Amino acid sequence: AAEARIAELEFRAEIDALTDVRNRQGFERELKRSLAYIARYDASAVLLYIDLDGFKAVNDGHGHTAGDAVLRAVAHTLTRHVRASDVVAQLSGDEFAVLMWNADVHQAEAKAHELERCIAEVNHPAAKAAKLGASAGVVLLSADLTASQILDAADRAMYARKRERKDDR
C-alpha cells in the first residue's frame, strides 16, 4: 500500500493543481522518455506548443480568479480534443503543450489549427470579452535533438505562427 501511495504522490507531483494536466516537470520527463522511445523504435511524434493570445486582458480586466477559470477551461478543451494517448501540459502561465504520437507534421498542423479554433470558442465570459485566442507551433520530434532543443524549436514555431495569425487579421 505504501508503494502504491508513493507512486501516486510521484505522479501528482507532475500534475498542475489548477488545470489537472501535466506541469512543466512532468511534461519534460515525458518528452525525454518519448525521445528515447523514438530513438529505439523509430517511432514518430510531434510537439504542439500553444500560447494563449489575449490572456493578459482576461487577468487585467476580469481578475485572476477569472484567469484561473479560463486556464482550467483551456486545459479541459485541449484534453477533450486530443487522443487519450496524447500528453497535454501547462508549461507556464498561458503556455500549453501537446505531445502527439504517431502523427506527421501535416496531421499535427491540422490539429493545431483545430485547437486554436476550439480555444477561441472557450465558453467563459472573460474569455469572450478578451477575445481569447491561441497560436500553436508544431515541431516533429527527432532523436537527434535534446528535449531543450525541441522546446526551443517549438517556441520559435509558435512565435512564427503568432506573427502569421497577426498578419492575417
Instruction: Give the tens place of pLDDT for each residue, 43-76.
Output: 999 999 999 999 999 999 999 999 999 999 999 9
Q: Does 167 qualify as catalytic in the annotation? A: no
SS3 content of the chain, % helix, strand, coil (to 5): 55, 20, 25
> DSSP letter string over 17-37?
TTTSSB-HHHHHHHHHHHHHH
CA gap 156, 159 in Å, rounded:
5
Contact criterion met (CB below 8 Å) for 98 and 87: yes
Element (H, E) at 101: strand 95-101
pLDDT tens-digit series, residues 76-87: 999 999 999 999
Catalytic one of 60, 94, 155, 167: 94
- What percentage of residues in the chain have a pLDDT greater than 70? 99
What confidence category does residue 5 fall into, taking pLDDT thresholds of 50, 70 and 90?
confident
Interhelix angle for 147-168 vs 24-41, to 10°?
110
Find all residues with CB under 8 Å of 102, minimum gap 6, and list them.
Answer: 43, 44, 45
